[in-house]
Copies of this chain bind each other. A is one copy, B any other.
Amino acid sequence: MITLAVDCMGGDHGPRVTLAACRQFLDSHPDARLLLVGQPDALAGFAHERASVVPASEVVGMDDPIEMALRRKKDSSMRIAIQQVKDGAAAAAVSAGNTGALMAISRYLLKTLDGIDRPAIAPQLPNAKGEATTVLDLGANVDCSAEHLLQFAVMGSALVSALNNEEAPSVGLLNIGEEQIKGSEVIKRAGELLRAAGKAGHLNFYGNVEGNDIFKGTTQVVVCDGFVGNVALKSSEGVASMISNALKQEFKRNIFTKMAAIVAYPVLTALMRRVDHRRYNGAALLGLRGLVFKSHGSADALAFEHALKRAYDAARNNLLDRVRTRISAALPLLLAAQSESGPSAP
């Protein structure tokens, strides 16, 4: 039996979406149990033999400053959900709430692994090879140092290695050109650290990649600052939804195009399923001493259910121990990078 703690109040839609997803998830996972964390009134309508409510009186707002979420809302559904992981009551926590708050509370309660300064969020995005590219950080880590980027590379490599049972997944550094001379000062220095790690056999470092390589699947892992990663992800979502809306508009233009739409319906459905970003919802927070998964804030029930599945798979496959083992192996490398540049700001 695998138990997950669900922050039922988080996200743009709250319990309306999270509870619908929980029901679907429980129906398709007979060995799963859910701890539904939130305001009891809001969760009162939900009854399932493998679900129980864990009360939490407060809710972290999507716009709440991190400080407020961390210091003033000590009985928030987000915090209580993570506390279940810390206490060993749940194998993983899932939340669609405020990313910055989730990172800060997770880090405060669970602590980071040795050698890791900041947890990172590592979603898997679909690529043209029909596989997934793991991109990190897509959390709220802005102003990352070169040492942080090296830590992200080790964590991302450990994640893919654990998920795919692969010895050395390829890692690319997101940059504005393939050449080593390209990029900001931090990126150039990160390139040096990653090349050194590659030469020493700690990483399968491919070199620089560009934004389009995420979707080409040039490397299995792409490493970037949280600011850049967020912009890349949101821009991609923006262009994908622009194209899908344009497709709908063109098919609705007149009676002939509407007839064409009927004929093309199965093809369009297959396409939409293939590029549906809801199927890729649910990203691991890496580098913590516990499993936490982040869902997109705007997730609908289908998307939130996918985040629950990811957390469930990770718990069942013992992801935490596998990532921890990998990071321990790379610890001398991470500590060497830190001491070379002085202590890294957390």
Contacts and interface: CB of A to CB of B under 8 A. Distances in A.
Interface of A: 63, 65, 126-128, 140, 142-143, 174, 176, 179, 181, 183-185, 187, 210-216, 224, 226-228, 230-247, 250-251, 253, 256-257, 259-261, 263-264, 266-268, 270-271, 274-275
A174 B231 contact: yes
Interface centre among A237, A247, A267 (most CB of B within 10 A): A267
Given A185-B143, A260-B264, A211 B240 contact: no
A341 to B, nearest CB: 18
A213 to B, nearest CB: 7
Interface centre among A224, A230, A264 (most CB of B within 10 A): A264
A173 to B, nearest CB: 12
Contact of A271 (B211, B232, B247): B247
Contacts of A246: 128, 271, 274-275
A243 B210 CA distance: 18
12 contacts: A128-B242, A142-B187, A210-B230, A211-B230, A224-B231, A231-B232, A232-B232, A233-B235, A235-B235, A250-B270, A250-B271, A264-B267
Contacts of A261: 264, 267
9 A-B pairs closest in CB distance = A211-B234, A212-B238, A211-B235, A215-B238, A232-B235, A236-B239, A176-B230, A264-B264, A142-B184
A140 B176 contact: yes
Nearest to A125: B239
Interface centre among A63, A140, A238 (most CB of B within 10 A): A238
Interface SS majority for chain A: helix
A36 to B, nearest CB: 28
A7 B126 CA distance: 38
A316 B181 CA distance: 38
Given A211-B233, A240-B243, A242-B128, A226 B260 contact: no
Nearest to A98: B177
A230 B174 CA distance: 11
Nearest to A188: B142
A183 B227 contact: yes
A275 B260 CA distance: 20
Given A236-B239, A246-B274, A275-B242, A263 B259 contact: yes
Given A260-B264, A263-B260, A275-B243, A210 B234 contact: yes
Contacts of A210: 230-231, 234
Contact of A176 (B184, B224, B231, B236): B231
A213 B238 contact: yes
Interface centre among A127, A232, A235, A238 (most CB of B within 10 A): A235
B242 A239 contact: no
